[in-house]
Amino acid sequence: MAEAQLFVSQDEFICSMCLDTLTDPVTIPCGHNFCLKCITNYWDHSQECRCPQCREKFNTRPALQRNNLLNEVIKKLKKTTLSPPPPQNYSSPGDMECDFCTGKKFRALKSCLTCMASYCQTHLQPHYDGDALKHHKLVDPDRNLKEKLCEKHQKTLEIFCKTDDSCICMMCVVTGHNGHKMVELETEREEKEPWS
């Protein structure tokens, strides 16, 4: 069975009293979670036994036991938050950077000739998963994406016009190269570079 991935942040495990990550979390009868120390101090200094969050009143002070499952989740989350992604994923001088990473940039794995952008593994994923992007043309990271666009139409250069000895886009085929001898750009590249 495939393992499901769950994306949560440490912010989702904050005690509403101390505004820090839950420590020794306890769940009270209304379902809210607090640090054991926070809720104990609150009830020790209060006339009534209420939930500080929803204000539900309890007739007797509930017995508090640590929520072991929540505690384990928080421990694992802290571990993953504290350990940064492997450094080999970060771009280094000479590497192509992801156009969508903010802060420290990851190394681009692919460039998209349709989007005219380069992507790291995380930002590339929608090109594999999404129906709208899966037909885009992905290539190895390329610093010269702008050179692969037709200057006149701003479309991807896909055709080689043998008559004019130039790379052209599909709009050029229709608008200015009628009757010319043309081949796909890849075919022409393979003919000119047979040993690469």
| Domain boundaries, given as residue ranges, for the chain | 10-82, 85-146, 149-192
Query: Residue 3: is its pLDDT beyond 60?
Result: no
Q: What's the CATH code, domain 85-146?
A: 4.10.830
Per-residue pLDDT reduced to its tens digit, 130-160: 788 888 888 888 777 777 778 888 787 888 8
Dihedral, CA of residue 60, residue 62, residue 63 and residue 66, to nearest 10: -170
Backbone φ, ψ for residue 158 (5° rounding):
-125, -15
The CATH class of 10-82 is alpha beta
Q: What's the CATH code, domain 149-192?
A: 3.30.160.60
